[in-house]
Amino acid sequence: MKLNYIFAPSRSEYRTFDTKRLRQAFLVEEVFRPGAMVLQATDLDRAIIGGIEPLDTPIELAGIEELRTEFFFDRREAGIINIGGPGTITVDDTIYPLSKRDCLYVGRGARRVVFGAEDPANPPVFYLLSYPAHREFPTTLAPSTEATRLDLGSSETCNERTIFQYVHEKGVSSCQLVMGLTELRPGSVWNTMPCHTHLRRSEIYLYYDLDSENQVMHLAGTPDETRALWVRNRQAALSPSWSVHSGAGTAAYSFIWGMGGENQSFGDMDIVGITDLQ
């Protein structure tokens, strides 16, 4: 399997981009393909994102030539969240069942990882986010019912939402990965507003639960010169550490957020005031 790379622009370079170049630098348009595994790499903290959608035949995440390691997890860790039907992930000799919203953390040192579907007519849709790891933590299943849950926002500000935290400093342990998901309530459209940056880590959003008639306008760039990306269902937006990452949808939606970098403090943010955005 070939690993595709997306290289992030500098904070000065992106200001010269037209829409096409902006989308090439910040947007992953194909994350999933039925019956296949799709992997995309970025130089943002050397993250790899993957979409795995098994049908009748299980799909194995084997070694990738570009990583120069025998196994994918030789020097890596990953969080995997299911956004589809029920499925399984086999890590070495252990089978983990995942329903929609469930998360599996796979630690460094795992040798064989296989993704399967319980019902090919209602297949699982696994989203994977991986970062390099310098130490091992145990592979851990985190059902959505056991996640740290935060109910935030209000209908008056159009951002009533529920946050599920899985991999974080007070949840599932990891080397540098922080990961969870956010679901907006019907009638709410804004995420991550007031927005923020965090120079200590990059972040990646996967937007989902959108029908074909709706999109999310994702904001990127420095606070004094933002850019807008229109993002469809099951597409991912890359956010360098210097960039804001926020958005408003034409309908309610969900998104998986994940970070890697210097620390794992969920509250480590440099908040940008709404009236300071340009």
Q: Which tens digits make up the pLDDT trace of 69-94?
A: 999 999 999 999 999 999 999 999 99
Look up the CATH superfamily of 4-276: Jelly Rolls (2.60.120.10)
Confidence class for position 266, pLDDT limits 50, 70, 90:
confident
- Residue 100 is predicted with a pLDDT of 97
Where are the chain's structural domains? 4-276
pLDDT at residue 267 greater than cutoff 90 = no
Q: Mean pLDDT over residues 126-150, rounded?
A: 96
- Residue 262 is predicted with a pLDDT of 80
pLDDT at residue 160 greater than cutoff 90 = yes
Note the pLDDT tens digit of each residue in 188-242: 999 998 888 888 889 999 999 999 999 999 999 999 999 999 999 999 999 999 9
pLDDT at residue 2 greater than cutoff 80 = no
- Residue 4 is predicted with a pLDDT of 85
- Residue 269 is predicted with a pLDDT of 81
pLDDT at residue 1 greater than cutoff 80 = no
Note the pLDDT tens digit of each residue in 31-63: 999 999 999 999 999 999 999 999 999 999 988
Single pTM value for the model = 0.95
Helix (H, G, I), strand (E, B) or coil at 183: strand
Distances (CA, A) of 235 to 32, 148, 197, 206: 8, 25, 21, 6
- Residue 31 is predicted with a pLDDT of 97
